[in-house]
C-alpha cells in the first residue's frame, strides 16, 4: 500500500482494502474489552460525524474535542470525524473539577473553537456544572455543542468529502505546559504522514506488529503513537484508560502479556511505577517475551530505571534490548529521534562538574563525579539536528552542551495566532553558517556519533554559586536520599533574592510516611545530599502529601507552576523549612496538613 498524502485518504484506503480488520480494541476498565472498531466501521462513523459537523460549521474552523478517558473509541471516531469534515480538531483534557473547566474555556478562546464535541454524558455533566456556577466558564455556552455518540450512522450518506492537501491543517496539538503556558502547535496532514513514516521506520513496525497503549489519547504521545501510528502501519492496537494505569499499574503489563504486544511504552515515571507497585507473586503469569519496543520518552530517561525494570521483569521474558529511549515534543508532532530496535540503550557517564560548565567529559561509571545520561537515538529519514549556543546562535563544538535545533517535514507550522513566538521558535538560523530554518526545542544536550543526549531544559536551568545546575539531576539526588520521598514527585527550582538565585525543593512524601514523618531527618538528608552531590546550598524545602505537586496531563512535573505556588504561598505543606529558620524545623510541622486524607 502506497501511503497517501492525508490522514483521511489513509483511513479511506484502509477501510476499502482491510475493511474487516479490527483496528482498535478498548479496555475501559483496563482489563475487559468494552468495544472494538474495524476500519470499515470507523470510516462510516467518521463520515456520519463529519456530516453532522458540516451541518454546523464551515471547513477550516476549529472544533474542540473533549472526551472522558473511558470513551476511547468515541474519541477516535470524533477525531477522524473532524478530519473528514475538513475542520481543525483541538483535542483537550476532559475536565472534572471547576478549575479544569475554567482552563477548558481558556483553551476554547485561545483556539477560537466554534463547536464543542463530546459524549452526551459528558456534555450533560458539563452543562450541570455551568448551571451551578454561571461565572465558571460562560464562553463554553457560546459554542455549538454536539454529542457524537448520538449521531445516526445514516448521516454518513450526507457526507461531502472536503478538498484536503498535504499542507492542510489537521489539528492543533497543545504543548504540555511543563515550562509555561500551553501553546497550540499547528499540525498538517503532511506533518503527520511524515512523522508516521519516521516512527514506523524507527520502531521497525510491520503489519504483524501489535500495540498496547494506555496514554491519554488527547495528548500527542497517545494520539500519534496509539491512534495514528497503528493506522499508518495497518496493525491492531489495544487501548486502555490512563486512569486504569494509575489505579492498578499491573493492568498495563497484563494487557501486554495477553495481547502479545510488540510495541508499548510511556514516560519514565510509568516504568518506575511498575517497579514500585507490582508484587513478586504477580509476575508468574506475565509473558513479556513478545515486547520488542518498550519506548520511553516525554521526560528525562533514568538509567537506574532501566536497570531496575530489566532486573524485575527479565524473568517474565523482558529483554533489555526492548527498551527504546526516544525524544520528541508537540512542536515536532511527537517524534524527533529514536534508537535501533535491536540494540540496548546507549548510556554515557559524564563528569558532572564539567557538565555544569556545558562540557562533555567522559568518566568511568564508578567515578564519584559520574552522571549517567541515556541516549535518545538518532534522526531518521533525512531529518537534521544541530547543537547551537542559545545566546550566540552559533554551532557548538562536538564536546559542548547546547540547545537542540531540529529540522524536517514533521515540524509543525508554528503556534496558533502567535506569529512572533512562531518566528522565534520555528524559524531559527545558525548565525555562523546561515543554515536553517530550524525548530528551537528549548532542550539542552549534545550529539555524539549521531546519538542525541538530552541534559535538561533551558528555562529550568539554574545558576547556583556560579555553576549551572540541572533541576532533574538535583531531583534525582533528592528522591534517593530518604525512603520517605516519592520517586518522580519532586521539583527543584530557583527564586531570585538579593541579586542571586536560591534553590528551593518541593517534594511529595510517601503515603505511609506523611502522618509520622521524621521531619528533621528528612530535611537534613536533603541538605546534605545536595551539598555533597551538587555543591549547592538549599534555601527552602517544602514537603507535600501525595498528589499535591503540579503535573501536566502527560505526567511531567510543572516546575514553573511549583515556583509560582511557592512564591504565592499557596502550597499546603506537611512541613516546610527555610534557611532563615533552620533552627526551628520541628516547629514548622503543619498538623492540620498531616491529618488531611
User: What CATH code is carried by the domain that includes residue 87?
Assistant: 3.40.50.12780
Asked whether residue 319 is assigned to any structural domain, the reply reads no
Which residue do the cell numbers 510543572 mark?
558
Do 447 and 478 have their domain in common?
A: no
Do 444 and 469 have their domain in common?
A: no
pLDDT for residue 533: 83
- Among 232, 247, 262, which residue terminates a domain? 247
- Among 436, 457, 478, which residue terminates a domain? 457
CATH number, domain with residue 559 = 3.30.300.30
Q: How far apart are CA 588 and CA 184, in angstroms?
A: 42
Asked whether residue 208 is assigned to any structural domain, the reply reads yes
Do 529 and 561 have their domain in common?
A: yes
Do 65 and 177 have their domain in common?
A: yes
CATH number, domain with residue 378 = 2.30.38.10
pLDDT for residue 338: 96
pLDDT for residue 269: 81
Residue 505: give the domain boundaries. Answer: 462-594
Asked whether residue 305 is assigned to any structural domain, the reply reads no
Do 543 and 432 have their domain in common?
A: no
Asked whether residue 437 is assigned to any structural domain, the reply reads yes
Residues of the chain with pLDDT under 70: 1-2, 176-181, 466, 553-554, 582-597
Dihedral of CA atoms 323, 325, 330, 331 in degrees, nearest 10, equals -150
Do 558 and 471 have their domain in common?
A: yes
Do 350 and 415 have their domain in common?
A: yes
Model confidence, pTM: 0.84
Do 118 and 239 have their domain in common?
A: yes
Asked whether residue 182 is assigned to any structural domain, the reply reads yes
Counted domains in the chain? 3
Do 452 and 577 have their domain in common?
A: no
Do 445 and 478 have their domain in common?
A: no
pLDDT for residue 2: 67
Helix (H) or strand (E) segment spanning residue 77:
helix 72-85
528-571 pLDDT tens trace: 999 888 878 899 999 999 999 998 766 778 898 999 999 999 99
- CA angle, 551 as apex, 550 and 555 as ends, to 5°? 160
Do 469 and 453 have their domain in common?
A: no
Q: How far apart are CA 252 and CA 242, in angstroms?
A: 9
Q: How far apart are CA 295 and CA 287, in angstroms?
A: 18
Do 36 and 141 have their domain in common?
A: yes
- Among 457, 478, 502, which residue terminates a domain? 457
What lies within 8 Å, CB to CB, of 135 at 6+ separation is none
Amino acid at each position: 500500500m502506497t501511503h497517501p498524502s492525508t490522514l483521511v485518504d489513509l483511513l479511506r484506503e484502509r477501510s476499502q482494502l482491510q475493511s474487516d480488520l479490527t483496528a482498535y480494541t478498548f479496555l475501559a476498565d483496563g482489563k475487559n474489552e468494552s468495544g472494538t472498531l474495524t476500519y470499515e466501521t470507523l470510516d462510516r462513523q467518521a463520515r456520519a460525524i463529519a456530516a453532522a459537523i458540516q451541518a454546523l460549521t464551515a471547513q477550516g474552523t476549529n472544533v474542540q474535542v473533549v472526551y472522558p478517558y473511558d470513551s476511547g473509541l468515541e474519541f477516535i471516531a470524533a477525531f477522524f470525524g473532524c478530519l473528514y469534515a475538513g475542520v481543525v480538531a483541538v483535542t483537550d483534557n476532559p475536565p472534572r473539577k471547576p478549575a479544569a473547566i475554567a482552563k477548558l474555556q481558556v483553551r476554547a478562546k485561545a483556539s477560537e473553537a466554534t463547536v464543542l464535541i463530546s459524549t452526551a454524558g459528558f456534555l450533560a455533566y458539563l452543562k450541570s456544572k455551568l448551571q451551578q456556577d454561571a461565572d465558571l466558564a460562560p464562553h463554553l455556552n457560546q459554542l455549538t455543542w454536539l454529542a457524537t455518540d448520538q449521531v445516526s450512522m445514516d448521516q454518513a450518506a450526507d457526507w461531502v468529502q472536503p478538498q484536503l492537501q498535504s499542507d492542510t491543517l489537521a489539528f492543533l496539538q497543545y504543548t504540555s505546559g511543563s515550562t509555561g503556558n500551553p501553546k497550540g502547535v499547528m499540525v498538517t496532514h503532511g506533518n503527520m504522514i511524515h512523522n508516521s513514516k519516521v516512527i514506523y521506520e524507527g520502531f521497525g513496525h510491520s503489519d504483524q506488529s501489535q500495540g498496547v497503549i494506555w496514554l491519554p489519547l488527547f495528548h500527542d504521545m497517545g494520539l500519534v503513537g496509539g491512534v495514528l501510528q497503528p493506522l499508518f502501519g495497518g496493525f491492531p492496537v489495544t487501548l486502555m484508560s490512563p486512569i486504569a494505569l494509575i489505579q492498578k499499574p499491573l493492568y498495563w503489563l497484563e494487557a501486554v502479556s495477553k495481547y502479545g504486544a510488540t510495541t508499548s511504552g510511556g514516560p519514565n515515571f510509568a516504568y518506575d511505577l511498575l517497579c514500585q507497585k507490582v508484587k513478586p507473586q504477580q509476575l508468574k503469569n506475565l509473558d513479556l517475551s513478545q515486547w520488542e519496543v518498550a519506548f520511553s520518552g516525554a521526560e528525562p530517561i533514568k538509567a537506574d530505571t532501566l536497570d531496575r525494570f530489566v532486573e524485575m521483569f527479565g524473568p517474565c521474558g523482558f529483554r533489555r534490548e526492548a527498551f527504546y529511549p526516544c525524544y520528541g515534543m508537540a512542536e515536532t508532532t511527537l517524534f524527533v529521534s529514536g534508537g535501533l530496535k535491536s540494540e540496548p540503550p546507549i548510556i554515557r557517564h559524564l563528569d558532572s562538574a564539567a557538565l555544569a560548565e556545558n562540557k562533555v567529559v567522559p568518566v568511568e561509571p564508578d567515578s564519584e563525579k559520574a552522571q549517567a545520561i541515556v541516549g535518545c537515538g538518532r534522526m531518521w529519514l533525512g531529518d537534521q539536528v544541530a547543537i547551537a549556543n542559545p545566546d550566540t546562535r552559533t554551532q557548538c563544538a562536538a564536546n559542548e552542551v547546547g540547545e537542540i535545533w531540529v529540522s524536517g517535514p514533521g515540524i509543525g507550522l508554528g503556534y496558533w495566532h502567535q506569529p512572533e513566538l512562531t518566528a522565534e521558535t520555528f524559524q531559527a538560523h545558525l548565525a555562523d553558517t546561515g543554515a536553517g530554518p530550524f525548530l528551537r526545542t528549548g532542550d539542552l544536550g549534545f550529539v555524539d556519533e549521531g546519538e542525541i543526549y538530552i541534559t535538561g531544559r533551558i528555562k529550568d536551568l539554574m545558576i547556583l554559586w556560579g555553576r549551572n545546575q540541572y533541576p532533574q539531576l538535583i531531583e534525582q539526588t533528592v528522591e534517593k536520599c530518604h525512603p520517605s520521598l516519592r520517586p518522580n514527585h519532586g521539583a527543584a527550582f530557583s527564586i531570585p533574592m538579593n541579586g542571586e538565585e536560591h534553590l528551593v525543593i518541593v517534594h511529595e512524601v510517601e503515603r505511609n510516611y506523611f502522618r509520622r514523618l521524621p521531619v528533621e531527618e528528612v530535611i537534613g538528608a536533603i541538605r546534605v545530599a545536595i551539598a555533597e552531590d551538587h555543591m549547592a546550598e538549599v534555601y527552602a524545602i517544602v514537603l507535600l502529601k501525595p498528589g499535591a505537586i503540579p503535573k501536566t496531563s502527560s505526567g511531567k512535573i510543572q516546575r514553573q507552576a511549583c515556583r509560582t505556588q511557592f512564591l504565592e504561598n499557596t502550597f499546603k505543606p506537611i512541613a516546610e523549612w527555610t534557611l532563615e529558620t533552620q533552627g526551628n524545623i520541628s516547629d514548622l510541622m503543619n498538623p492540620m496538613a498531616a491529618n488531611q486524607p
